[in-house]
Structure 1
Amino acid sequence: MVSMVGKKKSSNLIRLGSMLLIAALMVSGCGSSPKATTEKKAIKVGIVDTYTGGAAVYAKDSLDGFKLAVKEIAAKGGPKIEFVTRDDEFKPDKSTSWAKELVMKESVDFLAGTTNSASSLAVSQYAKESKVPFIVWGGMSAQTTGAAGHRYVFSTLPNTAIIGKAGAVQLSKTPYKKVWLAGSDYEYGHSVIDNLWSNLTTLKPDVQKMGETWWRVGETDFTPYINAIRSAKPDVLVVGTGGADMVAFMKAVKATGLTQDIPVWAHTCYDPATLRPLGDQAPEGVMGTNPYLANYPDTPENKAFVEAFKKEYSREPAAFALYGYMGGQFLGQAIEKAGSTDKEKIIDAMEGLTINTPVGKATLRKEDHQVAIPMSYGVIAKVNGVFTGTDLHTLSPEEIMPSVEAILKARSK
């Protein structure tokens, strides 16, 4: 009987010892825990953009900027970010199809890209329905973070409301009153023109719209349009176009000598992504706006960015490289701020986030997820044998951003 009691005590001691050992292992972290696994998880980004055709120059710049940001984040021991790409060929239906494939088959955590504004809106709607965060660094439609904005979409580039306001400020400082509006017949073209005209009539009530001209996307012969506009004799021609149309139109402006008779305005006219393919066919004197140049702003931060980009890709960064770079930096710093790879927590961290960029402080406004950065305006000129933007002036975000009240009102309709 004494022997049986001894065995019972021994058994209890073994059981107690086992429990203490398990507790010690859990406290010391020797066992696997959900938190440890989560912290090591990579965020996977599915990028849908235009990698063939005329608009590919912008998509390539955006992608390279993003890749540079991811590399810098990794070098500092930051969050791990992986990515895969798909070519939408500048077609909104393909953009949406690829976005769905990336989410359902590739299991991406974030979506990004879309140079085509209509594609941005289409993918944004899918992102909203599927609750997958979407970083827009290509499409400029004001609707993306305006009337059609929602929790799951962010924009790291100025939209057409901002571009329109900046362009209106520039044109309001000129003597031109009789205005002809023109552009490519798609979302971006109409949106930038509508926003510019709305702002210009407010800043300069005596302006007059003489007429409008719209050409199909992919137009190659602009001579008939230019001849008709020239015969109307407006004081200034305001153009809303981009991608391959932008380059083709600028070549036509040069070939027809249009600026000798009528001043021309176009957003990104002096951006390197526009000027590089033009070569010696860039038309001097064209006015426009642009948020970034490799030599502007002339700051240590921008010089460091340019040096890093040139080292990586053997060319200078253009505006879209900045947009992709900011997209990567915002994502990486939001993951760090959230302390988690949970998508909802990262969204919370991105809202109102301010980071240092080559153009100074940049903030993703909490209320609409629209990035706030400065914008320059100037004209194309040849300097030391190279076409670039000159006579540059800077507008602060406060001067060109739509008000939060206006955004909320648009979303309530």
Structure 2
Amino acid sequence: MPRFTVSRRALGALAVAPLASPAFAQPAPIRIGELNSYSRMAAFAVPYRNAMQLAQDAINAAGGVMGGRRIEFVFRDDGSTPGDAVRVAEELLTRENVSFLAGTFLSNVGLAVADFANQRKRLFLATEPLTDAITMAQGNRYTWRVRPSTYMQTRMLVEAIRGRSVKRWAIVAPNYEYGQSAAANFKRLLPSAIPDAEIVAEQFPALGRVDAGATVGALAQSRPDGIFNVLFGPDLTAFVREGNTRGLFERRTVVSLLTGEPEYLIPLGEETPEGWIVTGYPWEQIEAPPAHKAFIDAYRARFNDTPRKGSLLGYVTVQIIATLLNKANTLETEALVDALADLRTDSIVGPVVMRGLDHQGTLGTWVGETTLRGRQGAMKNIRYADGANYLFPEAEVLAARPRA
């Protein structure tokens, strides 16, 4: 089965070297439509786009795909709403003549584009939306997801608190598909780790409009032993600041999705709480495989910045796309979809397989604890949680996914 890798030499050289001008006519590039929340979720989406461009250039410099064709991403903002995203997806297919679609960030937006792809019978590689529905209850033949889902990452965190004597739990999550899905997964999985645990409070503030004072006050009033947090971005920053001020996190176990990602740790700065159990991306502590170190060096050289979790996801996504194109050796949609089933890519963080059963990738993430190093938040006690170990059970997938 074809596997795509980029050499360390190619990664490093592309940080400074332009592509050579061809001496003969080249076949038309393969255009791929990428739509994302570049304005509203810039902290994640812009580093993601940067890394996609880095990977695109590395692949093209190494000879391209399908026997010498270059790949070319066409980037568009999805407006962060389902309606705008569907309109942009349509424009990418009809005006830009892209071969297929990739991207989206927010879960409700990803679901809308997945439905559009199914109606149009065009491939959609969902990269960032985390909702389980995209590969389960609302899954379809044409939609596949790269990033570990809400269920997968929640399961990683619940595993990390197994056996603790933390009985009373409160939940705080943004009030849209991702937050609701995460809360449901936590309530479902918690009894397997702490059999006599109970949920004593739930807070669902609107995305981007958290009233931190009211939210922290309500959680404190419930007197929980532990808190499951799903807030991210500016909502997380406001919540942590108010929680620190009121002592909400003192002597309590806090489990938090995504908080260890640089996109969200950097804004916290000196306010980073100590000892939260989180999923994240401690890029500076990852020593293997060597291709990851080469990626870090190339990214920093080209963009004069450190990578974010979005950067890693963007690069791995392009590696998967290159592997797919080389395996299928065609741009015909049905052949591309068939080729994705159980496709293995040797990525910069190790093997990633697109499971044919539910169209979910096995890309993992890192689990650890938050800590303060100097004046900046970081992770400690890290381990890589391979996504292959946290997928939905096969029987559950077969029961949940619509039959073709």
CA root-mean-square deviation: 1.9
- Compared with structure 1, are the counterparts of its residues 399 and 314 closer, same or farther at alpha carbon in structure 2 (3 Å cutoff)? same
Give the stretch that moved more between structures: 109-118 or 344-353.
344-353
1:254-275, Cα deviation, whole Å (9 max, x unpaired): 3433222433221111111111
* Partners of 1:297 and 1:359 within 8 A in 2: no
Report the counterpart of residue 397 of structure 1 in structure 2: 387
- 1:172 partner SS: coil
5+ long unaligned stretches in structure 2: 1-25
- 1:112 partner SS: strand
User: 1:246 offset after TM fit, Å?
Assistant: 2.8
Report the counterpart of residue 88 of structure 2 in structure 1: 98
Report the counterpart of residue 49 of structure 1 in structure 2: 36
TM-score (norm 1): 0.85
Are 1:64 and 2:54 matched, yes or no?
no
Residue type matched to 2:198 in 1? Q
Where in structure 2 are the equivalents of 1:182-197 lying within 5 Å?
Answer: 182-197=172-187
Residue type matched to 2:53 in 1? K
Give the stretch that moved more between structures: 382-391 or 204-213.
382-391
- 2:201 and 2:72 map into 1 onto residues whose CA distance is 49
- 2:170 and 2:96 map into 1 onto residues whose CA distance is 47
- 2:246 and 2:276 map into 1 onto residues whose CA distance is 14
- 2:234 and 2:106 map into 1 onto residues whose CA distance is 12
More helix, by proportion: 1
- 1:349 partner SS: helix
Report the counterpart of residue 235 of structure 2 in structure 1: 245
- 1:154 and 1:296 map into 2 onto residues whose CA distance is 30
- 1:41 and 1:350 map into 2 onto residues whose CA distance is 23
- 1:327 partner SS: helix
- 1:58 and 1:174 map into 2 onto residues whose CA distance is 33
- 2:95 and 2:37 map into 1 onto residues whose CA distance is 21
Are 1:76 and 2:66 matched, yes or no?
no
Report the counterpart of residue 114 of structure 1 in structure 2: 104
Where in structure 2 are the equivalents of 1:239-318 lying within 5 Å?
Answer: 239-290=229-280, 292-299=281-288, 300-318=290-308
Give the stretch that moved more between structures: 154-163 or 317-326.
317-326
Residue type matched to 1:52 in 2? S
User: 1:326 offset after TM fit, Å?
Assistant: 1.6
TM-score (norm 2): 0.87
- 1:230 and 1:105 map into 2 onto residues whose CA distance is 53
* Partners of 1:251 and 1:283 within 8 A in 2: no
Aligned-pair identity in percent equals 27
1:218-245, Cα deviation, whole Å (9 max, x unpaired): 1243111101211211001111223332
- Compared with structure 1, are the counterparts of its residues 248 and 357 closer, same or farther at alpha carbon in structure 2 (3 Å cutoff)? farther
Where in structure 2 are the equivalents of 1:88-237 lying within 5 Å?
Answer: 88-237=78-227
Considering only CA atoms, is the larger Rg found in Structure 1 or Structure 2?
1
User: 1:139 offset after TM fit, Å?
Assistant: 0.7
- 2:351 partner SS: strand
* Partners of 1:62 and 1:138 within 8 A in 2: no
* Aligned residues between the structures: 373
Higher RCO by CA contacts (8 Å cutoff, separation 6 or greater): 2
- 1:145 and 1:296 map into 2 onto residues whose CA distance is 31
- 1:269 partner SS: strand
- Compared with structure 1, are the counterparts of its residues 193 and 345 closer, same or farther at alpha carbon in structure 2 (3 Å cutoff)? same
- 2:294 and 2:374 map into 1 onto residues whose CA distance is 23
- Compared with structure 1, are the counterparts of its residues 403 and 172 closer, same or farther at alpha carbon in structure 2 (3 Å cutoff)? same
- Compared with structure 1, are the counterparts of its residues 153 and 243 closer, same or farther at alpha carbon in structure 2 (3 Å cutoff)? farther
Report the counterpart of residue 18 of structure 2 in structure 1: none
Where in structure 2 are the equivalents of 1:364-379 lying within 5 Å?
Answer: 364-379=354-369
User: 1:296 offset after TM fit, Å?
Assistant: 4.2
1:325-360, Cα deviation, whole Å (9 max, x unpaired): 121111111111122232322222222111122321
